[in-house]
């Protein structure tokens, strides 16, 4: 059978993108320069080349689409029916047929217009024929845009289909929805199928792989099937029916005997009998799941009778000698995916049944004769009645006995840990493998040496008693601190003291509230100068009373405030005084103007007065100020280019060549080999 990898199908562009791709390639890959002075044969050849190239590109692209999409009649029947269920093979074939028809139409259009171009009599006529040819090709592509979009949707969906090999060893899981099929698959394979407590969680086929006897088995999880007529089943159920009908696999029919899936055993038995025709010539195993909720022995007699009927049907698929049932082992099994009881038994039984069937079929085929000719089994004939046992050298026997004794005697650290209380209780000794003169020395306490002294010599033997005394003393001190740290509750105070305490707390709470209000409105509240203090909150008398209450003499503070608030005369600036009088003199630093006060404060840290650049300073080597100015200009001019180059970096946008050739030159004309 031909195997298709649906993930490698090329992307199908839509109609508009298809036209843009082809026309853009034609423009890039064919000459674009033509002149009126060319001969008519050259003009015809120029435009015929464009039409042929466009037709060839359309033909190649459409042929790729037709060849890469699988033909339903040539692939495995399983894939053919699966694609029919998912996409409706009539629409699928119709879309591919329209692509094939468009390819033939474009070839016919190109052939007709090439004939017309052979008789073109002017540049204008040839160009018009070329435009008409390309236009008709694009019109054909626009008409098949819906088919291209449909095929692209199919390609995306097919790329998401699982890679199922119809000819390999396969285990197929089927049954009603929510009976534990996906949970079983997650247990025996590395697949990660979504498991939810509602029906139809699995909406498509899922594939996993497991190993048994060094062979790889393919496990397929199918969506749940409901017991209803064939024509009423939806696409999800038809995927399961298709897999059961076409795949040669061992079938596991899952049965929920607890009824927690929402369907009774009677309904599940009815489904089994309705699809049992799909189990013919396939190993069938009845799996009773969810035994943790309901054991198989505890179900009613009517349900047990139905289970036994299904078991009888499954026995018919057991291939024994002559096609009859050999035994009933591995036909009816119980398990629970929750506590993982019986999962390995179900897997091994299914794999063993499938392997036996495949071997039996191969033994009955004609190919077995070709294989048997290659084998020869030699059986020696006895020459006398004496029994001759196999002879093993004595050294080999001794080595085996010694190895067996070592394996029995030797105990690992894990064994010792389990014998002595387990992890966290047993601590492995790192000294037992020390090579010492006497084994008694291994557990001796080794001295710890620090700065040339034995640490044990400085350890107080009564340190634990001293530690208990310190802890006891610390507890007493903490109790005393707790007794001293009490909050004044007012019970031991006199009535006057209680009133004072209440007044203090009230004042404190009001101050806290005022501070919070000021803090919250600090940004929006304007700053009011003190001269507009209408409430007279900030006066000398109030300050004096407050300082007196604190036990301080307020006279000096009041006098200083009075001197600061006294009116000042208008003074001359310091610079003007210095310019008028060169000698030192006393200046009142309290200047009325704010700018002058700021300048007087910064006199000590301001720089010295600058000289103009043209001022001549003795010792510089210039004749006069004009020569100095000229020298400064020449110096600036000499370093200008050097500074400009130093500032240029690799991130600066600089185009050293204003007209680079590769951006401004066109295609080369015929006869020239110069590069573009």
Confidence check: pLDDT of 386 > 60:
yes
> Model confidence over 57-113: pLDDT tens digits?
999 999 999 998 988 887 888 888 888 888 888 899 999 999 999 999 999 999 999
pLDDT score, position 594: 52
Beta bridge partners of 289: 256
pLDDT score, position 140: 94
Most confident of 136-150, 543-557, 566-580: 136-150
DSSP H or E segment with residue 454 = strand 453-454
> Model confidence over 35-45: pLDDT tens digits?
888 899 999 99
Instruction: Look up residue 84 and give its two tokens.
Output: 């029919």
DSSP H or E segment with residue 290 = none
pLDDT score, position 1: 40
Residue with the bigger pLDDT between 204 and 23: it is 23
Q: Return all residues near 428 (Cβ < 8 A) that are at least 6 apart.
A: 413, 416, 417
* pTM as predicted: 0.51
Confidence check: pLDDT of 204 > 50:
yes
* Range of lowest pLDDT (359-373, 393-407, 417-431, 628-642): 359-373
pLDDT interval class at 320 (50, 70, 90): very low
pLDDT score, position 665: 67
> Model confidence over 101-125: pLDDT tens digits?
999 999 999 999 999 999 988 899 9
Assess contact for 49 and 10: CB atoms under 8 A.
no
Q: Could you give the CA distance from residue 431 to residue 324 in angstroms, rounded to a whole number?
A: 69
Most confident of 226-240, 301-315, 586-600: 301-315
pLDDT score, position 61: 93
Look at residues 161, 259, 266, 260 and name the one whose alpha carbon lies nearest to residue 206. Answer: 161
DSSP 336: B
Confidence check: pLDDT of 528 > 70:
no
Confidence check: pLDDT of 664 > 90:
no
Confidence check: pLDDT of 635 > 90:
no
Q: Could you give the CA distance from residue 470 to residue 451 in angstroms, rounded to a whole number?
A: 29
Place of tokens 């003291």: 497
Confidence check: pLDDT of 649 > 70:
no
Instruction: Look up residue 58 and give its two tokens.
Output: 């359309």
Task: Count the neighbouring beta carbons within 10 Å of the beta carbon of residue 526.
Answer: 4
Q: Could you give the CA distance from residue 331 to residue 312 in angstroms, rounded to a whole number?
A: 9
Start-to-end CA span in the chain (Å): 53
Instruction: Look up residue 127 and give its two tokens.
Output: 């160009």
Half-sphere exposure for 477 (CA within 13 Å, toward CB):
6
Q: Mean pLDDT score of the chain, rounded to an integer?
A: 80
> Model confidence over 427-449: pLDDT tens digits?
888 888 888 888 888 888 777 88
Q: Could you give the CA distance from residue 41 to residue 120 in angstroms, rounded to a whole number?
A: 9
SS3 171: strand
Q: What is the mean pLDDT of residues 548-569?
A: 73
> Model confidence over 405-424: pLDDT tens digits?
877 767 788 888 888 888 88
Q: What is the secondary structure of 589-655 as a DSSP string?
A: S--SSHHHHHHHHTTTTSPPPPPPTT---TTS--SSHHHHHHHHHHHHHHHHHHHHHHH--TTS---
Look at residues 288, 269, 243, 261 and name the one whose alpha carbon lies nearest to residue 199. Answer: 261
pLDDT score, position 676: 44
Sheet holding 170-175, edge to edge: 206-212, 215-221, 170-175, 250-256, 284-289, 332-334
Confidence check: pLDDT of 348 > 70:
yes
Q: Supply the Cα-derived Rg of the chain in whole angstroms.
A: 52
């Amino acid at each position: 059978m031909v195997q298709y990898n649906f993930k490698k199908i090329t992307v199908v562009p839509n109609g508009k993108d298809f036209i843009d791709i082809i026309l853009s390639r034609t423009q890039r890959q064919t000459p674009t320069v033509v002149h009126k002075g060319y001969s008519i044969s050259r003009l015809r050849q120029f435009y015929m080349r464009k039409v042929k190239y466009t037709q060839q590109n359309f033909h190649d692209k459409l042929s790729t689409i037709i060849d890469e999409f699988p033909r339903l009649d040539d692939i495995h029947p399983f894939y053919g029916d699966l694609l029919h269920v998912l996409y409706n093979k009539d629409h699928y074939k119709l879309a591919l047929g329209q692509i094939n028809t468009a390819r033939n139409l474009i070839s016919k259009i190109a052939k007709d217009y090439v004939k017309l171009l052979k008789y073109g009599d002017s540049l204008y006529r040839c160009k018009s024929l070329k435009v008409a040819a390309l236009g008709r090709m694009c019109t054909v592509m626009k008409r098949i845009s819906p088919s291209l979009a449909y095929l692209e949707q199919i390609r995306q969906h097919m790329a998401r289909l699982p890679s199922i090999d119809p000819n390999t060893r396969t285990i197929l899981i089927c049954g009603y929805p929510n009976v534990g099929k996906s949970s079983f698959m997650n247990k025996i394979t590395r697949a990660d199928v979504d498991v939810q407590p509602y029906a139809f969680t699995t909406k498509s086929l899922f594939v996993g792989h497991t190993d048994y006897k060094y062979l790889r088995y393919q496990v397929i999880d199918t969506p749940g099937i409901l017991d209803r007529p064939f024509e009423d089943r939806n696409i999800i159920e038809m995927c399961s029916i298709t897999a059961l009908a076409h795949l040669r696999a061992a079938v596991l029919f899952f049965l929920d005997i607890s009824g927690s899936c929402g369907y009774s055993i009677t309904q599940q038995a009815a489904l089994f009998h309705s699809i049992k025709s799909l189990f013919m010539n396939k190993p069938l195993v009845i799996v009773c799941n969810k035994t943790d909720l309901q054991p198989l022995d505890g179900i009613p007699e009517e349900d047990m009778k139905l289970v036994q009927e299904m078991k009888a049907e499954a026995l018919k698929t057991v291939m024994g000698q002559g096609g009859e049932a050999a035994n009933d082992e591995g036909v009816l099994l119980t398990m629970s995916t929750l506590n993982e009881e019986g999962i390995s038994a179900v897997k091994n039984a299914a794999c063993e049944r499938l392997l036996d069937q495949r071997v039996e079929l191969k033994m009955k085929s004609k190919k077995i004769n070709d294989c048997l000719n290659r084998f020869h089994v030699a059986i020696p004939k006895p020459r006398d009645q004496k029994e001759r046992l196999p002879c093993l050298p004595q050294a080999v026997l001794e080595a085996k006995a010694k190895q067996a004794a070592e394996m029995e005697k030797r105990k690992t650290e894990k064994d010792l840990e389990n014998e002595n209380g387990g992890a966290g209780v047993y601590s492995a000794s790192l000294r037992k493998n020390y090579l010492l003169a006497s084994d008694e020395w291994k557990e001796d306490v080794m001295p710890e040496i620090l700065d040339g002294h034995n640490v044990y010599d400085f350890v107080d033997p009564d340190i634990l008693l001293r530690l208990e005394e310190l802890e006891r003393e610390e507890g007493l001190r903490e109790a005393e601190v707790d007794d001293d740290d009490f909050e004044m509750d007012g019970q031991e105070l006199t009535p006057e003291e209680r009133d004072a305490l209440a007044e203090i707390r009230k004042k404190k709470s009001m101050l806290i509230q005022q501070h919070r209000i000021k803090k919250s409105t600090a940004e929006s509240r304007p700053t009011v100068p003190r001269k507009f203090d209408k409430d007279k909150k900030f006066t000398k008398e109030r300050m004096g009373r407050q300082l007196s209450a604190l036990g301080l003499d307020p006279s000096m503070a009041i006098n200083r405030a009075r001197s600061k608030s006294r009116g000042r005369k208008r003074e001359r600036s310091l610079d003007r005084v210095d310019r008028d009088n060169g000698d030192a003199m006393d200046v009142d630093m309290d200047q009325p103007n704010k700018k002058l006060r700021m300048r007087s404060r910064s006199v000590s840290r301001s720089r010295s007065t600058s000289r103009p650049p043209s001022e001549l300073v003795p010792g510089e080597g210039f004749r006069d100020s004009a020569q100095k100015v000229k020298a400064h200009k020449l110096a600036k001019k000499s370093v200008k280019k050097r500074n400009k180059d130093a500032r240029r970096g690799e991130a600066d946008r600089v185009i050293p060549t204003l007209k680079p050739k590769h951006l401004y030159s066109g295609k080369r004309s015929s006869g020239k080999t110069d590069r573009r």
